[in-house]
Amino acid sequence: MKTPGLPQFDHQPKKYDGPSADEVLRLRRQFLNPGIFLYYKKPLMLVEGKMQYVWDETGKRYLDALGGIVTVSVGHCHPYVVEAAHRQNETLQHSTTIYLHPNISSYAEKLASKMPGELKVCYFVNSGSEANDLALLMARAYTGNYDVIALRNAYHGGNALTMGLTAHRTWKFNVPHSFGVHHSVAPDPYRGIWGRENPDAGKKYAEDIKNLIDYATSGQVAAFIAESIQGVGGCVVFPDGYLKHAYEHVRSAGGVCIADEVQAGFGRTGSHYWGFETQGVIPDIVTMAKGIGNGCPLGAVVTTPKIAAALAQRIHFNTFGGNPVVCAQGKAVLEVIEREKLQENSLKIGSRILAGLDRLKEKHNLIGDVRGKGLLLGIELVKDRKSKEPAKEECAQVLERCRELGLLLGKGGLWGQTIRFSPPMCVNEQDADFLLDVLDLALAEL
């Protein structure tokens, strides 16, 4: 098989004259917490990025099909976004929310314009974990209830409260963190008990939520939280109707519904701007991070005026939330998504990749399942299609080989058995074909 070549791209990276990757690794091992993990047997050092590509210190280019873990939404160093942040950096870098600044207000207005229904009130924070933590606080303050329903196979963050929501043993420390949190079964059409052939699967999975409310709580709950597509869990797309039925059970027990759009939001699913819209529901609270800022530390909680008012019961403060520079960048990201029709591009290129992955499944038995929407895609690797034994080592090998061939991918799932694709939404058809050719070669060589 011929080695695929990266598509032409007109950008000359700057000559790198900083410390070597070995030296950086040495310093990292000495001065950084070992809990911060690295990908690849020989860790990769990236020193420059432009749109969908990144370069290592030797000048080798890669297609970034993970997008800095679903974060680089509109492209690395997008000139419009860089300019917006630069302009603000030169004018006023920080003030805090105790003073007025035009950026936070105009950004909130713009973000609210993207939201359906009554979801019009924003609170800016610095990360997805913070956003989910705050969303839970609002839900509890608003409802006066405590119990929360989350899903198995979920990832909602790594701080004390969100580690309790996250439901993979790999991310959970053996410390008390899940008091009041109950995990319902993951509505996973590939590994769960009801598959894609069952038209009632969504309703049936949601019945477990009703069951949890009846048997594990007082019958009254504060909230239900779910990613619209489970990202870290391996790009698990829920059966149609699941969230609709889940929301009904939760609301009739007095709870509010939180959609974690940290990965699925901002047009990435292609067909819709928000992931929850693919399930035909409107949540009560939406949390955002990652792609919202294209790489800057920005998160948001957007809710209804009524729920938002619950936070005024006490003083609540976040030093960097709504920082003028970050708000300038966030607003520029929204403008680029609109102007460059990146949602439409996600649909077009995502469909091309999805169709190609389906073809690869015909050819390679290792691929047990192909799934996802737009540019949030995954393939689950299994040693045997019948037993569905996770092909963890093979998944790691494919990632290593793809890296050598100039393609950066992600992995997910409890066992690290699912390859994830979430490139910046500016990728084109040539990138899609390159990705598929490289993957084909890497799978063939196993």
Binding site for ligand PLP (CB under 6 A): 127-129, 132, 155-157, 227, 231-232, 260, 262-263, 289
* Minimum CB distance to ligand PLP, residue 296 (Å): 11
Smallest gap from residue 192 Cβ to ligand PLP (A): 19
| Angle of the 342-363 helix axis to the 429-445 helix axis, nearest 10 | 20
- 232 vs 328, which CB is nearer to ligand PLP? 232
Residue 289 or 391 having the CB closest to ligand PLP: 289
Nearer to ligand PLP by C-beta: 285 or 382? 285
What are φ and ψ of residue 37, in 5° steps? Answer: -90, 165
Residue with smaller CB distance to ligand PLP, 98 or 175: 175
Most distant CA pair in the chain, distance:
65
Residue 424's CB is within 10 A of a number of other CB atoms, namely 29
Shortest gap between Cβ of 17 and ligand PLP (angstroms)?
32
Q: Which is nearer to ligand PLP, 376 or 436 (CB)?
A: 376
Tell the smallest beta-carbon distance from residue 209 to ligand PLP (Å): 19
* Identity of the residue, 103 or 422, whose beta carbon is nearer to ligand PLP in the bound complex: 422
- Residue showing the smallest CB distance to ligand PLP in the complex: 128
CB of 429 to ligand PLP, least distance (A): 28
For 251-263, b/e burial (b = at least 16 CB within 10 A) is: eebbbbbbbbbbb
* Minimum separation from the CB atom of position 302 to ligand PLP (A): 15
Q: How far is the CB of 363 from ligand PLP (least distance, A)?
A: 30
CB count in 10 Å sphere of residue 36 = 7
> For 372-439, what is the HEC assignment?
EECCEEEEEEECCCCCCCECHHHHHHHHHHHHHCCEECEEECCCCCEEEECCCCCCCHHHHHHHHHHH
CA distances from 277 to 75, 116, 234, 252, 354 (A): 24, 9, 20, 21, 20
Give whichever of 46 and 69 is closer to ligand PLP, judged by the CB atom: 69
What CA–CA distances, in Å, run from 72 to 78, 242, 401, 424?
10, 29, 23, 5
